[in-house]
Structure 1
């Protein structure tokens, strides 16, 4: 299962080795300064936008990879059923959104929110 965590000044999505094979990447790093907001979405399918650009999906089981839509590209690592941690990023960045199924989505979202707030106030060094 993928993990969403904060490491130094980055939000990091780490994929399991099986997920990494499908997505063709082991991890994604996004600067905390690029975070616009973070939330938990209880309905996993609401996090999906557009069509798959690279990766795989099996209806009702999982969605993994990148999804292209009018607003940009989303990184998706979602397993069904269950809540999903969603991190919205500022426009014009590499990804528009990170959607990740984690063991503790509430904890991951809270960590991202606190770290982004801390970084935006200039207290992070």
Structure 2
């Protein structure tokens, strides 16, 4: 399973050697945190697939790894069986969406949350 590293300015997705081979990808995926639009946890990652595989590997309902191209761009997918997964919607990145199965999906979502800073008071006239 891919390992996720959350930094103050970026998210790094480090693929295992097997995932890189199946996805036909050499490098890790790095996205800027400011480009993450939303993150959700899903029990059925297969319903989130859109478009066609290009390049990558797929055994329906067992394994999907690689790039899925669709009319509006492309997604990166690394899902296995019917395990919980995170769906990360992105803007201004290589991929429009990243879908990854993860045993630690809830912890990952919590780690992305930034502390909320209080809004400065508006000056009164």
TM-score interval, normalised by the smaller of the two chains = 0.7 to 0.9
Q: Is structure 2 residue 15 aligned with structure 1 residue 15? A: yes
Gaps of 5+ in 1: none
Q: 1:102 to 1:26 in 2, by over 3 A?
A: farther
Residue of structure 1 in register with 2:61 after alignment: 60
Gaps of 5+ in 2: 120-125
Residue of structure 1 in register with 2:101 after alignment: 101
Rg comparison, structure with higher value = 2
Aligned positions of 1:1-125 closer than 5 A: 1-23=1-23, 24-90=25-91, 92-112=92-112, 114-115=113-114
**Contact 2:8-2:33 within 8 A present in 1 as well:** no
Higher relative contact order (CA 8 A, sep 6+): 1
Q: Pairwise CA RMSD of aligned residues?
A: 1.8
SS in 1 for 2:86: strand
SS in 1 for 2:34: helix
C-alpha separation in 1, matches of 2:4 and 2:97: 13
**What is the TM-score of this pair, normalised by structure 2?**
0.83
**Contact 2:43-2:82 within 8 A present in 1 as well:** no
More helix by share: 1
Q: C-alpha offsets along residues 64-122 of structure 1, whole Å, 9 cap, x if unaligned?
A: 011001121101011111111111012x431100101112111112222x14x77xx9x
